[in-house]
Amino acid sequence: MGYLDVFTHLEALAILLLIFLISIVFKFVDFGGIIASFIVGYLIYVFGGREYFIALITFYLVSVILTKIRVKKVREVENKEDGVRGWRNVVANGFTATVAAVASGLSADHRVFFATYLGALSSAFADTLATEVGLMYPGMPRLITSMKKVKPGTPGAVTPLGYMGGLMGMTVLALVASIIDKRLSFYEVAAIVFLPGLVGMTIDSILGATIQAKYRCRICGKNTESSSHCGEKSEQIKGVRYINTHTVNLIATIIGGTIAYTLANIFLQ
């Protein structure tokens, strides 16, 4: 059991320290994001092992690099900030995967929980890349529920380029997972990654378009996902209070993990 091995703990600390130094230098995350990322990364490394962590760090590095590229190319985007991730973003995208990794370390049923982990991670990966790549789409996106044209960055907005980005994320994760871990066959990994990823990012868009709270800044008049803007409380104009982009992301990863868990149990019968 890796979590009982002192060397595993030391190895996790050393690798995480290196990654966070890089993150600080390139401003990938803020201070809160660093603390949350450390907890998530440490638990996944210690309980899941190197394979779990390699899949996680692939998601992290690809997503933050694409975010930086997007911010550089597309600065004026509705509802989007400067691309620096905070603790809420880390928890929303990493909580379900962390639970699956810890469960794997404490259980004898490693293959089922590895699949659950991949499903949750795939949902987060696909949605993140769909957002970042989609924001570089030259045309106007459409709201997933009505197909009405909306401003780039509007919750629930989708584009063909965004779905291609999501597909790219799922493909990268499937390839990495099939190479680093042989507990599941390539075809099982593909099903466990692509179906939860596709469903997860679609559900994320639907929830974003329907129940996610949207606000308008009372100072600058900008539409935002945040309940406060320009140092003042924003005016809620749509959606359900307390359901924000992070809540939606968390729900999507739970759904992705649940689908993968179900598929794994079918495959392993």
pLDDT tens across 79-93, in order? 555 567 889 999 999
> What pLDDT is recorded for position 91?
95
- CB of 46 within 8 A of CB of 9? yes
> What pLDDT is recorded for position 207?
96
Query: Token match 């690798």: residue?
Result: 15
- Which of the pair, 174 or 236, is modelled with greater confidence? 174
> What pLDDT is recorded for position 231?
79
Burial 58-94 (b: 16+ CB within 10 A, else e): bbbebbbebbbebbeeeeeebbbeebbbbbbbbbbbb
> What pLDDT is recorded for position 47?
95
Query: Does the structure show a pLDDT above 70 at 2?
Result: no
Residue 238's DSSP bridge partners are 214
* Rounded-to-integer distance, Cα 173 and Cα 13, Å: 24
> What pLDDT is recorded for position 77?
59
Run of H or E residues at 235: strand 235-238
Run of H or E residues at 116: helix 110-134
> What pLDDT is recorded for position 152?
85
> What pLDDT is recorded for position 146?
94
pLDDT digits (tens, 9 = 90+) for 179-232: 988 777 888 899 999 999 999 999 999 999 999 998 888 888 777 777 787 878
> How would residue 130 be classed by pLDDT, with cut points 50, 70 and 90?
very high
* Rounded-to-integer distance, Cα 143 and Cα 51, Å: 37
- CB of 253 within 8 A of CB of 200? yes
* Rounded-to-integer distance, Cα 19 and Cα 76, Å: 29
What are the tokens at 84?
């620096």
* Rounded-to-integer distance, Cα 154 and Cα 209, Å: 8
> What pLDDT is recorded for position 82?
56
pLDDT digits (tens, 9 = 90+) for 30-86: 889 999 999 999 999 999 999 999 999 999 999 988 888 887 766 555 555 556 788
Q: Between the CA of residue 199 and those of 123, 160, 163, 166, 167, what are the distances in Å?
A: 8, 16, 12, 11, 12
What are the tokens at 92?
């929303």
